[in-house]
């Protein structure tokens, strides 16, 4: 009677049970390859498998699989609805692979909030591993949000105009760009894919009214007076974003504010029946913040560093903190006692802050395995981008820690990586200089006649 999460019945679809059995075999026995299309529910032996999917392989042991393969959530979602990004054929293009890596790096998705209870035997070990939390550690209550550090007397500095002054790269030599994301879902609604047209419209209306408010204007432009603010930004529907060509989509992409939209065949598995209706994006007047509405999650905010100060992580963290203070004061969001704020992406839980910075590491990328290790022990995810010496660094842990701790951990780790790059560069410079000195010395040696 206390179970409000499951369907209270077992799945008896023999065809789906057979598919799940094939999925188990695929996850535990295939080789890495690529795919070309997005087909039926039949799992593909040609789906790429990487670090993330290794976590699914590691923690979906046979006894775990047996205990959950018949389970259904109260919205009738089953195990396949969670693991399909790992086993389903997907379009074989670079954008799709990047989107998969960005949104579902462990190859799993949450089709509803109830999976975090019904399939906890599978999800909790994966979430712990992704967040660098030891498996034997018992998860405690996720801490309350704390955006700023406390002073010595324990008082938080919530001054509206107060910015954290921290630039990872004041000389603009290593950091190319940076952004931070934050995700929220309203407490009294299901995820967008399960909503009706009226419910999508209602969430869209609630969130856009907040983003157009004076409170948000003061959060985004804390040093401007009422006359100078003159509105907060513009809301664009998803149809305006998806049209070809779309100037607003190109602008968002150029400023690192564009998120994966998953406008692909069979997108109903992610978006539900009514895509792209009831979705859109609010863009601030300054063009440095975008709030995506009803795209996988109810709210996904992205804010970026300026081109003039690409390493200024303190500025964008402060902007996001002021904004979230306003939003959190007006709405209640879906939370789990242990996992914190919930989302459709099981790697975006807890405080949900996602730091993503593109950094030039000319020396360190020469030894990619060493760089991977250097990042991993510092709690960073590391991904190569299309330019040979550029990498994307992002934080791993969001569960069990506050926002300000995520900020401190990420900035300390990236600053350390940049310092290692500087040291290598200096070492190579000294080595090259010494070589030239030796060459010139040899040239000056008199010939023996």
Nearest-5° angle of CA 127, CA 128, CA 131? Answer: 85
Tell me the CA distances in angstroms from 277 to 113, 293, 343, 413, 431, one per residue in order: 22, 11, 20, 41, 60
Cα distance from N-terminal residue to C-terminal residue, the chain: 104
Residue 78 has a CB neighbour count (10 Å cut-off) of 24
Binding residue numbers: 177-181, 300, 354-358, 383-388
- The DSSP element (H or E) to which 374 belongs, if any, is helix 368-376
Strand pairing report for 175-184 and 233-237? unpaired
DSSP states of 59-97 as a string? H--HHHHHHHTT--BTT---THHHHHHHHS----SHHHH
Quick one: how far is CA 130 from the chain centroid?
12
Cis check for the bond before 388: say yes or no (omega within 30 of 0): no
Binding residue numbers for ATP: 177-181, 300, 354-358, 383-388
Cα torsion at 272, 46, 121, 345 (round to 10°)?
-40
């Amino acid at each position: 009677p206390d179970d409000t999460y499951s369907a209270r019945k077992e799945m008896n679809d023999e065809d789906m049970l057979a598919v799940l059995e094939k999925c188990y075999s695929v996850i535990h026995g295939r080789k890495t390859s690529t795919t070309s299309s997005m087909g039926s529910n039949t799992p593909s032996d040609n789906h790429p498998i990487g670090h993330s999917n290794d976590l699914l392989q590691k923690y979906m042991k046979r006894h775990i699989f047996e205990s959950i393969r018949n389970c259904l959530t109260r919205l009738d979602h089953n195990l396949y609805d969670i693991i399909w990004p790992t086993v389903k054929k997907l379009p074989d293009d670079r954008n799709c692979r990047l989107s998969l890596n960005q949104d579902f790096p462990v190859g799993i998705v949450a089709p509803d909030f109830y999976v975090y209870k019904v399939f906890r035997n599978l999800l909790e070990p994966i979430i712990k591993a992704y967040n660098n939390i030891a498996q034997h550690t018992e998860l405690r209550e996720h801490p309350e949000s704390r955006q700023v550090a406390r002073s010595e007397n324990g008082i938080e500095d919530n001054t509206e105009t107060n910015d954290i002054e921290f630039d990872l790269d004041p000389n603009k030599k290593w950091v190319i760009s940076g952004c931070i994301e934050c995700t929220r879902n309203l407490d009294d609604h299901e995820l967008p894919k399960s909503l009706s047209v009226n419910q999508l419209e209602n969430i869209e209306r609630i969130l856009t009214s907040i983003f157009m408010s004076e409170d948000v204007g003061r959060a985004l432009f804390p040093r401007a007076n009422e006359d100078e603010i003159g509105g907060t930004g513009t809301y664009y529907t998803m149809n305006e974003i998806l049209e070809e060509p779309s100037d607003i989509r190109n602008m968002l992409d150029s400023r690192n504010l564009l998120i994966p939209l998953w406008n692909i065949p069979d997108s109903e598995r992610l978006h539900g029946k009514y895509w792209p209706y009831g979705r859109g994006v609010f863009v601030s007047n300054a063009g440095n913040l975008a709030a995506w509405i009803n795209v996988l999650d109810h709210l996904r905010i992205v804010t970026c560093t300026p081109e003039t100060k690409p390493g200024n992580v303190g500025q964008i963290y402060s902007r996001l903190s002021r904004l979230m203070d306003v939003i959190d004061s007006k709405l209640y969001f879906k939370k789990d006692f242990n996992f914190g704020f919930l989302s459709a992406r099981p790697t975006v839980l807890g405080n949900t802050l996602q730091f993503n910075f593109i950094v030039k590491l000319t020396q360190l990328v020469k030894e990619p395995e060493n760089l991977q290790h250097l990042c991993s022990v510092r709690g960073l995810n590391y991904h190569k981008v299309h330019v040979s010496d550029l990498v994307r660094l992002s934080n791993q842990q969001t569960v069990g820690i506050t926002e300000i701790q995520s900020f401190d951990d990420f900035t300390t780790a990236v600053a350390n990586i940049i310092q290692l790059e500087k040291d290598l560069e200096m070492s190579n410079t000294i080595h090259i200089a010494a070589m030239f000195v030796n060459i010139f010395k040899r040239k000056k040696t008199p010939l023996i006649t």
